[in-house]
Amino acid sequence: MTTEKTSQVAERLVTKYGMRVSKEVAQSVFMDQPKVPVLLSRASFRSDVDVRTEQRTRFQRERRQALHTMLGLAGVSIIGLLLFKTASTPALSQPIPTTYVQSAVTHSAQLLANASNVPPDQALTFNDPALGPIVLIHLDNGKFVAYSTICTHAGCQVQFNPSAKDLECPCHGAVYDPYNNAQVVAGPAPYPLQSIPIQYDQSTGNIYLAT
């Protein structure tokens, strides 16, 4: 095979198979005068397909790493916002459970009223130096309950409505159920009214503020 034909064949092989070797090296193989061992020459060949596959694999790996990094940063940001919100939210006082005690009265109890002075579906209001304004209600089931009249929404004083049998705030329309521990039944109030523990002396009918 002449040098010219060998060169043409080598050029076609390089062009067709994309072997990244010089034309001189390929030509020398066909002329039985290889410039490098054949095995070494073959080991150095690498097609464009392999290069593109490697590039695509590297790109996908880098994209996955970037995605994982973004997800990690987003998770840390969400946790930080939740912790900040929890730390910056002031703790709201929880309501004290209503205590209606029909038992012997302790010596430290403060007299509020006598049962005979509070007909069913009626209420009396008091102002205690420690607890603030209080409303004592005689329910139609015979029980007495007492609550703070300070609305848990904006601090206005609620009033007992004997017709509706509930406690209503005149400022923003909050409504509480005195039969159910002053739970909120309407309006913007977030919590029930604070329950005030009382004691009832069956022998005298007196109602005391438990302290």
Q: Give yes or no: residues 106 and 199 share one domain.
A: yes
How far from each other are the two terminal CA atoms of the chain, in whole angstroms?
118
Whole-number Å distance between alpha carbons of 169 and 193: 11
- Convert the pLDDT of each residue in 73-129 to its tens digit: 777 778 777 776 655 444 433 433 334 444 445 546 788 899 999 999 999 998 988
- pLDDT over 60 (residue 49): no
Distances (CA, A) of 131 to 2, 41, 137: 115, 96, 17
The verdict on residue 184 lying in a domain is yes
Residue 66: pLDDT band by 50, 70, 90 thresholds? Answer: confident
Across the range 20-38, mean pLDDT stands at 55
Domain assignment of residue 110, given as a range: 100-209
Q: Give yes or no: residues 107 and 202 share one domain.
A: yes
What pLDDT, on a 0 to 100 scale, did the predictor assign at position 14? 57
Q: Give yes or no: residues 154 and 54 share one domain.
A: no
Average pLDDT over the chain, rounded to whole?
75
Q: Give yes or no: residues 112 and 197 share one domain.
A: yes
Q: Residue 28: which of 15, 14, 46, 10 has the closest Cα?
A: 10
What pLDDT, on a 0 to 100 scale, did the predictor assign at position 125? 92
Q: Give yes or no: residues 121 and 165 share one domain.
A: yes
Its pTM stands at: 0.51
- pLDDT over 50 (residue 39): no
What's the longest Cα–Cα distance across the chain?
Answer: 134
What pLDDT, on a 0 to 100 scale, did the predictor assign at position 62? 80
Residue 48: pLDDT band by 50, 70, 90 thresholds? Answer: low
User: Who wins on pLDDT, 171 or 2?
Assistant: 171
